[in-house]
Each structure stands twice: as structure tokens, then as C-alpha cells.
Structure 1
Amino acid sequence: MAHATVDEVLGALKDVDFPADKTQLLEAARSAGAPGEVISALRGIPPETYTNRDDIVHSIRTDPDSDLGHTPAERAEQAREGGKPGLSQHLREVPKTPVEEELDR
């Protein structure tokens, strides 16, 4: 299965006015003639309102090889911080609250 790259997704969305929701992003990509991989990547994002291109980049699934130019530190930072706040919380390590710590005793 082919994956979209970050550059392909952002290229298809170059004329988008922000903030924009998922439907507006899909419409803009289709009208820009984006390939199927880009449309599929945008279909997979959460139905949120995106305030800028960085929000989109953090929410899409891209080509696994698209981070080959990143240093190990940059990849680790991306893994730690995850995507847009509030998304994929189950993948983040969050410190326990004092109540949770007390209940674990």
C-alpha cells in the first residue's frame, strides 16, 4: 500500500484558508487534483478543526520512510509529543495524578 508524504499532503492543501475542518480539507485536496494516497491520508485524520498546517502534519499518517532525514532526537521528540493535543492520548505516557498514585498503593 502506498503512503502519502508530508510534502504531497501540504502541496494539495496549499490554497486552504485556516481554520478548516476535515471536510474542507478533503474538498480542497480533491479540487487540487490530489492523488488517492493524499485523499486516503486526509480521510484518516480526526474530525477536528485544524488551525494551521502543523496540526494537519501531526494528525496524518504518512510514509514511514518520510522521516529518514530526521535525527534520532527529532524522531524521539515526535514520538514523545505525539500529535495535536487531545489526539491519540492512549499512546502518550502521562504521569499519574495524586489520586491515581494513592489508589495504586
Structure 2
Amino acid sequence: MAHATLDNVLGALRNVDFPADKTELLEAARSAGASGEVMAALRGIPPETYTNREDIARSVRTDPDTDLGHSPAQRGEQARQGGKPGLSQHLREVPKTPIEEEMDR
């Protein structure tokens, strides 16, 4: 199954006037001809009022492998640490592994 990328979701919402609620976001995406994957990602966001694109990016669930280069260890660390309700797991802060810290030196 294909997944929506964050770029696809935000691209479908480029003409949205903020603040906007979930219903307005879905209508804007539908008007822009968004794919079924994008519409499904937007249907999964909490029913809140969004003030900007960053709010949407924090709430929309996309496939983490399409947008970020996190390793399985980093994704596991995200899952263990938890985060703000409604925040997509792959957008949470992830500490570097000891090996990555060593490689950066």
C-alpha cells in the first residue's frame, strides 16, 4: 500500500487560509485533487483548528520511511519516550545513538 508523504499532504493544502479546521482542510485537499492516500492521512488528524502548516505536519500521520532517515533504533527510542498526544511518532525528537555521536566527531 502506498503512503502519503508530508510533501504531498502539504502540497495539497497550499491554498488553505489559516486558521482552518479539519473539515476545511479536507475540502481544500479535495478541491486540489489530492490522492486517496493524502485524503486518508488528513482524515486521520485530530478534529482541531490548525493555525499553520507546521501544526498539520505535527498531526498528520505519514509513513516515516518516506520523509525521514531514522534508523530502527531511533524509531524505537521515539516509541519508548512517548510524546504529545496527536504528534506523529516519526516527528518526535530523537537522540542520536552512541555510534552516530562517535561518527559525527
Structure 1 length as normaliser, TM-score?
0.67
Structure 2 length as normaliser, TM-score?
0.67
Paired AA for residue 16 in structure 1: V
Give the structure with higher Rg (CA).
1
Structure 2 residues not aligned, in runs of 5+? 90-105
Runs of 4+ in 1 over 3 A off after TM superposition: 67-71, 78-83
| Total equivalences in the alignment | 86
Paired AA for residue 47 in structure 1: P
Identity %: 73
The answer for the alignment partner of 2:7 in structure 1 is: 7
Structure 1 residues not aligned, in runs of 5+? 92-105
Could you tell me whether the CA contact under 8 Å between 1:58 and 1:82 is conserved in 2? no
The answer for the alignment partner of 1:101 in structure 2 is: none
What is the RMSD computed on CA atoms of the aligned residues? 2.9
Write the deviation string for residues 31-75 of structure 1: whole angstroms up to 9, x where unpaired: 00000000000000000000000110110110221233469xx97
The answer for the alignment partner of 1:16 in structure 2 is: 16
| Cα distance in structure 2, aligned partners of 1:25 and 1:59 | 13
